[in-house]
Structures are given as C-alpha cells and as structure tokens.
C-alpha cells in the first residue's frame, strides 16, 4: 500500500528547531518529487517546500533560509529541518507525493498521496 507517515511534531519555543520526518511505503521517495505543505489553525493550505527526484530543492519565501528539505534514500524517508521557528510557523505539516510530468516549459503535476500530518506548535 502506498502510504506516507509524518512524525516529529511537537511544542517548541520561538527560535527553536525541529526536524519532521515522513516515512514512505509502497513507492520510492527518491524517484518522485516530494513536498511539505502546512496548514495553520483555521487557515488554508500553504506550500512550503519541494525536493525534485534529481535533488533540487525549492522553498516558499516565508521559510527560505530557515527550513531545509532533504531525504534519506536508504530509509525511504523525507525530512524537513526547521530552524529559527516563529509563532507563525504553528501548523499541521503534511508531506505529499507529486505525480505527473513536465517538459521544461509546462508542468503537469498533482499531489496524489498525502500523509495524515504532524502538528507543530511554536509558543513560549
């Protein structure tokens, strides 16, 4: 069964760090584009970061320079290292798999597999 399971959330003080994990089963993380998406309490979905199958990484402006997406191919696991956390980073964090393709000009991707999410609370 294709599945994603997040872990690592919790309560952290402002300025602190946290590392989220997303364990995949049923497919290979390194063969897919993978993303982190977050949802603040009562708010909509916000794209956070992506890692391409080739290893390139991209970030939303709101987390650039503070968050790092990575993967461990041997563990088939995606990570999100979050540093310098702020109150506004409080959210449920979901990992998601992209399916689809692109031709370098047009992008035909969609997020077809989602985890259940892990909650991050930044508060003193």
Partner 1 sequence: QSVLTQPPSVSAAPGQKVTISCSGSSSNIGNNYVSWYQQLPGTAPKLLIYDNNKRPSGIPDRFSGSKSGTSATLGITGLQTGDEADYYCGTWDSSLSVNWVFGGGTKLTVL
Number of residues that bind partner 1 (CB under 8 A): 27
Tokens at residue 95, please?
Answer: 């990992």
CB of 36 to partner 1, least distance (A): 11
C-alpha–C-alpha distance, residues 23 and 115, integer Å = 9
26 binds partner 1 per the rule CB under 8 A: no
Q: Which residues pair with 10 in a beta bridge?
A: 120
Interacting span for partner 1 (CB under 8 A) from 9-17, 66-74, 78-86, 111-119: 111-119
| Window 27-66: contact mask with partner 1 (x via CB under 8 A) | --------x-x------xxxx--x-------x-xx-----
C-alpha–C-alpha distance, residues 87 and 97, integer Å = 27
Residues whose CB falls within 8 Å of the CB of residue 32, separated by 6 or more in sequence, listed in order: 53, 97, 98, 99
Contact 94, 39 (CB under 8 A): yes
Interior angle at CA 92, CA 77 and CA 117, nearest 5 = 40
121 binds partner 1 per the rule CB under 8 A: no
CB of 57 to partner 1, least distance (A): 10
* Comparison of 14 and 56: residue with beta carbon closer to partner 1: 56
Applying CB under 8 A, which residues contact partner 1?
A: 35, 37, 44-47, 50, 58, 60-61, 94, 96, 99-100, 102, 105-112, 114-117
């Amino acid at each position: 069964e294709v599945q994603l399971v997040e872990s690592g959330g919790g309560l952290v003080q402002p300025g602190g760090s946290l590392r989220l994990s997303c364990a995949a089963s049923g497919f290979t993380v390194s063969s897919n584009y993978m993303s982190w998406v977050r949802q603040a309490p009562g708010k909509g979905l916000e794209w956070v970061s992506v890692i391409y199958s080739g290893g390139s990484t991209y970030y939303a402006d709101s987390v650039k320079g503070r968050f790092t997406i990575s993967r461990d191919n041997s563990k088939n696991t995606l990570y999100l290292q979050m540093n310098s956390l702020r109150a506004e980073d409080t959210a449920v964090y979901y990992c998601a798999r992209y399916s689809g393709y692109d031709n370098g000009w047009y992008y035909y991707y969609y997020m077809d597999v989602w985890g259940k999410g892990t909650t991050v609370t930044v508060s003193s």
